[in-house]
A and B are shown apart, each in its own frame.
Chain A
Amino acid sequence: MVIQLENVWKIYQMGDVQVPALKGIDLEVKKGEFLAIAGASGSGKSTMMNLIGCLDLPSKGKILLGGDDIAGFGESQLAQIRGQKIGFVFQQFNLIPTLTALENVMLPLEFQDVDTPAAREKALEILNLVGLGDRVHHLPSQLSGGQQQRVAISRALAVDPEIILADEPTGNLDSKTGAFVIDLLSNIHKKDSKSVIMVTHDFQLVKRAERIVYLKDGEIERIEHKPKEQGGEFA
């Protein structure tokens, strides 16, 4: 699914002050692309991810997913897109603390009315894939950061979405665990040809992407292309 941003603005209203977080972004992300977004803190990276992920709507401009303007969608349609087409991975993992790893991974499937046995099977399959087959009944609090992030990635993959959005997925992990998580993401990208958009500060990780968008003060500063062979090498 192609993602197009056309002159996208996001302006936050803080009392009387208007804070522009994004100022006229134009970008097209191709199907199956591995894109990194880099930039200083406060440059608008998360804002952009939230818009692409249909968690928020732009103040101005258009966001097209597969050619459809998301501004035209109602609440339940947006929820459906989030549930079926997009998988989120957050810096803080954002697992439901009272559900086990397995239940967390099953949850997006249950929102899509997949019946329990099928959801369970799928969730177990993915958890096995990320090497957590022996931790499925653990609560998030009983898992390490890296394990939690792998559960979160499993959850993002559960509904087999076309786009994976990862906002600083390694931000709370040490570099070794971080590298493992990035490997996982780039593997997903290569194997299943899903579009992956990842926000990161880490220059080592940025290099794994096929294309890097540098944001500065809500604007695209520059875009760096990398030859496909160099991007996403799998350790």
Chain B
Amino acid sequence: MKINKSLKLAVNIIVHSKLRTWLTIIGIVIGIAAVVAIVSIGEGMQQNIESRLGGLGADIITISPGGGRASVGFRGGHGGGMPGSTATSAAAENLTKKDVLVLQSVGGVEFIQGIVSGNGQMYYLGEKATVSVEGIDPLVWKEMTTSELESGRFLGPSDYNVVIVGGRIAKDTFKQPLTVNRMITIEEKAFKVVGILKESGGFGGDDSKIIMPIKAARDTLEDVGSDEFDSITLKVANTDDVDQIMEEADKKLMISRHLTEKEKDFRISSSQSVQETMSDITQTMTLFLGAIAAVSLLVGAVGIANTMFTSVLEKTKEIGIMKSIGAKNSDIMMIFLLNSAIVGLVGGLLGICLGTGISSLLPFLGMRLMGMGREGMTTVVTPMLLIYALLISVGIGMVAGVIPAYRASKLKPVDALRYE
């Protein structure tokens, strides 16, 4: 029998047992919807991290003081926007000019700069705010940053008491937006705003920073020695070499600072390594939650199998009739397999619709219930996710239908015909 005929008969069975079929389908709908929604949260987290860390630039390596090789830190130079990251670490010994010289000898490094950073009180038009200040080498910073100017200009080598302001500070921090040529006060020193940066939206960028020449930063922020840096950033020539350069920089610093593995008092990280670690975490979480959702799919599968057994039992006589007029075992098998595959398919289709709907509502719910911000939760439904969900639901339908379909196909014609 041709497949389209088997399909017609399979559909006929479904059409004539609507209620039971729908109840079965609901089981799959719930399971698939749960999986889609949960995985979309995971994907959303993933994308969030990627876009936020994107501001760091894939070719930037950051060295900052602080022990512990296992801990992933990104603070100092390019991590100032991250909540809770402070400029100086009391315990760890600061990085020095000597370290910069050592790092200069690492092959594949295109640019290098020492950065001084810290928090400072800022005044603007009578308003006060604590801001993260970063002192940079104007010539090098221009080459390394991924931030773009919204207006104004970058810092020049002869600049002293001028600053560039991160987009978020300029727009959101004060009642009156900051613009170029405005005067601000940081730690009782006056600065002129010469540039405003475009907002990047991520937490790796310079959105919440005040960028000033390093000389000015040393004079403004209290606790930085004249030879010391809060962090050193490297820009590598080739992104592929990041891991290898990190390793070499690590080795050279250890030697020059006379440190053993245990005494290590600095951290090296790249946006890549941070991203990878974060991705690993979200992936594990998604997998775990997805597995829980998959349990409901299992229940759905058992539902299909149960319905199929009932259906086969109910159709026993018809199976006998079909065999008496020439149906082969394979024909019967196909009809019932298609039957359960359709149940899976319809359940999957409705499930991904429901799941997509839920996932688009989740950010709002998350905001309401958990008080998360606008960027607190995003969900992403990728086409791949939908395709997989559909394949899985059809697969589940077929697997659940195999045994009942096989039982149906093996019925002896006489016995089946006799069944009432």
Q: Contact residues of A with B, CB < 8 Å? A: 50, 53, 55-56, 75-76, 79-80, 82-84, 87-88, 90, 94-99, 107-108, 110-113, 155-156, 159
Contacts and interface: CB of A to CB of B under 8 A. Distances in A.
Given A94-B417, A113-B1, A82 B326 contact: yes
B325 A83 contact: yes
Contact of A110 (B2, B317, B328): B2
Contacts of A82: 323-326, 413
Interface string B1-25: 1100100000011011000000000
B281 interface: no
B412 interface: yes
B239 interface: no
B278 to A, nearest CB: 56
B325 A111 contact: yes
A110 B1 contact: yes
A111 B16 contact: no
Contacts of A90: 417
Given A98-B16, A113-B2, A50 B414 contact: yes
Output the residue of B1, B2, B15, B326 with the most chain A CB within 10 A.
B326
Given A76-B329, A82-B413, 11 more contacts: A55-B414, A79-B329, A79-B331, A83-B327, A87-B325, A94-B321, A96-B318, A107-B322, A111-B1, A111-B322, A159-B326
B238 interface: no
B330 interface: yes
A113 to B, nearest CB: 6
A111 B327 contact: yes
A182 B134 CA distance: 104
A98 B109 CA distance: 77
11 contacts: A75-B328, A76-B329, A79-B323, A82-B326, A83-B325, A88-B325, A94-B324, A95-B321, A107-B322, A111-B1, A156-B325
B27 to A, nearest CB: 24
A76 B15 CA distance: 29
B413 A55 contact: yes
A108 B326 contact: yes
Nearest to B410: A75
A55 B1 contact: no
Given A55-B417, A56-B413, A79-B329, A96 B5 contact: no
Contacts of A96: 318, 321-322
Given A98-B13, A113-B1, A108 B329 contact: no
Nearest to A55: B413
Contacts of B329: 75-76, 79
A98 B8 CA distance: 12
Contacts of B326: 79-80, 82-84, 108, 111-112, 159
B7 to A, nearest CB: 12
Interface in B60-89: none
B331 A111 contact: yes
Contacts of B5: 110
A135 B145 CA distance: 82
Contacts of B2: 110, 113
Contacts of B330: 76
Among A90, A97, A107, the one with the most B-chain Cβ atoms within 10 Å of its Cβ is A107
A76 B1 contact: no
Interface in B122-157: none
A55 B324 contact: yes
Q: Top 6 closest A-B pairs, CB basis? A: A83-B326, A111-B326, A108-B325, A55-B413, A79-B328, A56-B414
Contacts of A75: 328-329
A111 B322 CA distance: 9
A96 B319 CA distance: 9
Contacts of B318: 96-97
B405 to A, nearest CB: 15
A87 B325 CA distance: 7
* Most chain B C-beta atoms within 10 Å of own C-beta, residue among A50, A96, A112: A96
B77 to A, nearest CB: 73
Contacts of A159: 326
B408 to A, nearest CB: 14
Contacts of A56: 412-414
B12 A76 contact: no
A155 B325 CA distance: 8
B416 to A, nearest CB: 9
A87 B15 CA distance: 28
Q: Which of B1, B325, B414 has the most CB of A within 10 A?
A: B325
Nearest to A99: B12
Contacts of B331: 79, 111
Contacts of A55: 323-324, 413-414, 417
A53 B412 contact: no
Interface in B164-192: none
A107 B325 contact: yes
A145 to B, nearest CB: 17
Nearest to A54: B413
Nearest to B331: A111
Interface in B373-420: 412-414, 417
B72 to A, nearest CB: 63
A126 to B, nearest CB: 14
Nearest to B329: A75
